[in-house]
Amino acid sequence: MGKGKVYLVGAGPGDIGLLTVKGMKCLQKAEVVVYDFHLNAQVLNYINSDAEFIYAGKRGGHHTMTQDEINDVLVQKAKEGKLICRLKGGDPFVFGRGGEEAVVLAEHGISFEVVPGVSSAVAAPAYAGIPLTHRLYSSSFAIIPGYEDTTKEESSIDWAKLATGVGTLVVLMAVKNLELLVKRLIENGRSPETPVAIVRWGTRPDQKTVVSTLKDIVLAAKEKEIRPPAVVVIGEVVKLRDTLKWYETKPMFGHRVLVTREHSTGFEALEELGAEVIEFPTIAIAAPEKYDDLDRAIEKIGSYTWIIFTSANGVRYFLKRFFEKDNDIRDLKGIKICAIGPKTAAEVGKYGMRVDLVPEEFRAEGLVEAFCREHGAKGMELKGMKFLLPRAEVAREVFPRKVRELGGEIDLPVTYRAVKPELHGKRLKRFLKEGRITIATFTSAATFTNFLEMVGDDALEFLKDVSIAAIGPVTAKAIEKAGLRADIMPVEATVEAMVEEIIRRKAVKES
């Protein structure tokens, strides 16, 4: 088999929005992903589910794999002809050992590309409101490692020149060596009154910023219990933080919101207000196991008076099968279309079809009345009408029963089904255990019950100190049955309404 290829990809400092478009594309086509610890867990959601995941991270000084072992894996997988994404926090060539890995690949004649990432060296100060350069304060900056032993005789850093020769100093991985770093800078002429900021977990909801002077920063860091990972910024530009800080002042800064549906569409308003959305879908939508009923309905499609779509999923999966059976959109001519809610109607519109009826909610009595009005029927009479309702595998029977009671006919082919995804919840469990999830959202009873099964025995204990948002009373009832309480529930059972209620209850209360 021919040699594969390795993409050395920088995943950015933490905020998922800082992952580059090219980095995303590399992730999506990779067959093997070798990834580090300091990544936003959401990055892994973009990886092909069939890809091989290899964890090579380091936490608290503990190496899961040595650098030599990582190099060997990259070479071995490439020689197997695989497309590999070496996913690293920040930028692979800024203290990321990406250069060492690239040299090994070059020595073995393996093709590689480097996809730069946003380094924490520039991102963390920016999210703390500190520009590294400013015309009135500093026209130069330098990035140096803080893990080097500053007491050793043969340092690779020229402290005498660096201490006063550069306007802004950015020091990475410096917390453990902070006292020696300060000592060396002051000894070499940097003013003890120089402003200093330490930004921990920059660009994330956990971001914490401590500001002091060079002579007092060690004490300030101890008092605020600053631990790695953190970025140290030294220079006059730190004075601008009071004016320019923007991230930590957002109304929902500090909140991590757990989303248990398949996509986080609709939750963007929370991100705009400073929250981080964590996707952990506990339900996935899939095609039905058998198409028999749906195929029979499609074969006699011209016999129906109405097609009723109750969700965007119903639209997509019905039309997908419809086209697979060698039909085109003209075969639906003459059939009226009902779409429950504006979102479902919008999905129908994407296929160039006009919707005849858009009720706001799926209520049996209201729908029957609407259909009778559309056909000028006297009273509640559906005789002669034939309905097609492509629906989920599990659905309520109230409306179909009502149609039949009033003389109508209705076919209910299973068009899609909800399944429980195969996801590894290790990182989510750690976030819950450490109290780093503040709000958990559930958009159906199934998303909640599946969550309990997927997280395991500790799930209920993890949720005790988390604000729980339920989309409606059925979901809230499932949560209460498990011994918990839904703290947040909108009047209208939509994602948008739930998000608005979260904002009202959290952002307003804490402002």
Q: Where are the domains of the chain?
A: 5-118, 122-244, 256-283+421-510, 287-418
- pLDDT above 70 (res 453): yes
Contacts of 504 (CB under 8 A, 6+ apart): none
Note the Cα 440 to chain centre separation in Å. Answer: 14
Torsion of CA 486, 490, 496, 500, to 10 degrees: -90
Tell me the pLDDT of the chain averaged across its residues.
90
| Domain 5-118 fold | Cobalt-precorrin-4 Transmethylase; domain 1 (3.40.1010)
Per-residue model confidence as pLDDT tens digits over 115-157: 999 999 999 999 999 999 999 999 999 999 987 654 556 677 8
* Look-up of token digits 């043969």: 154
- Dig out the tokens for 466 from the structure: 């988390």
Residues 115, 10 contacting (CB under 8 angstroms): yes
**For the ranges 134-143, 371-380, 471-480, which has the lowest average pLDDT?**
371-380
Torsion of CA 235, 237, 243, 244, to 10 degrees: -110
- How far is residue 73's CA from residue 364's CA, in Å, rounded to a whole number? 59
Residues 411, 390 contacting (CB under 8 angstroms): no
At residue 200, the 3 state secondary structure works out as strand
CA distances from 354 to 334, 438, 480, 498 (A): 11, 42, 41, 29
- How far is residue 200's CA from residue 410's CA, in Å, rounded to a whole number? 60
Note the Cα 177 to chain centre separation in Å. Answer: 34
Give the architecture (CATH level 2) of 287-418.
3-Layer(aba) Sandwich (3.40)
pLDDT at 480: 96
pLDDT at 280: 87
* Residue 65 identity: M
Q: What is the mean pLDDT of residues 226-249?
A: 97
- How far is residue 257's CA from residue 276's CA, in Å, rounded to a whole number? 6
Q: Per-residue DSSP letters for 428-455?
A: HHHHHHTT---EEEESSHHHHHHHHHHH
pLDDT above 70 coverage of the chain, percent: 93
- pLDDT above 80 (res 362): no
What b/e sequence results for 186-215 when a residue is b if at least 16 CB atoms lie within 10 Å of its CB, and e otherwise? eeeebeeebbbbbbbbbbbbebbbbbbbbe
**Active-site amino acid positions:** 36, 58, 173
- pLDDT above 80 (res 4): yes
Q: Per-residue DSSP letters for 322-386?
A: HHHTT--GGGGTT-EEEESSHHHHHHHHTTT---SB--SS--HHHHHHHHHHHTT-SSS--TT-E
**What is residue 412's DSSP assignment?**
-
* Residue 275 identity: A
pLDDT at 493: 83
Per-residue model confidence as pLDDT tens digits over 151-182: 556 677 899 999 999 999 999 999 999 999 99
Q: What is the mean pLDDT of residues 302-306?
A: 95
Output 425 or 347, whichever has higher pLDDT: 347
* Residue 55 identity: Y
- How far is residue 411's CA from residue 293's CA, in Å, rounded to a whole number? 9
Q: Can you identify the CATH homologous superfamily of domain 122-244?
A: Tetrapyrrole methylase, C-terminal domain (3.30.950.10)
Q: What is the mean pLDDT of residues 211-218?
A: 98
| Domain 256-283+421-510 and domain 287-418 have a common topology | yes
Q: Per-residue DSSP letters for 264-289?
A: -TT-HHHHHTT-EEEE--S-EEE--S
Per-residue model confidence as pLDDT tens digits over 102-115: 999 999 999 999 99
pLDDT at 181: 94
Contacts of 384 (CB under 8 A, 6+ apart): 305, 407, 408
pTM assigned to the model: 0.81
Q: What is the mean pLDDT of residues 429-442?
A: 88
- CATH number for the domain formed by residue range(s) 256-283+421-510: 3.40.50.10090
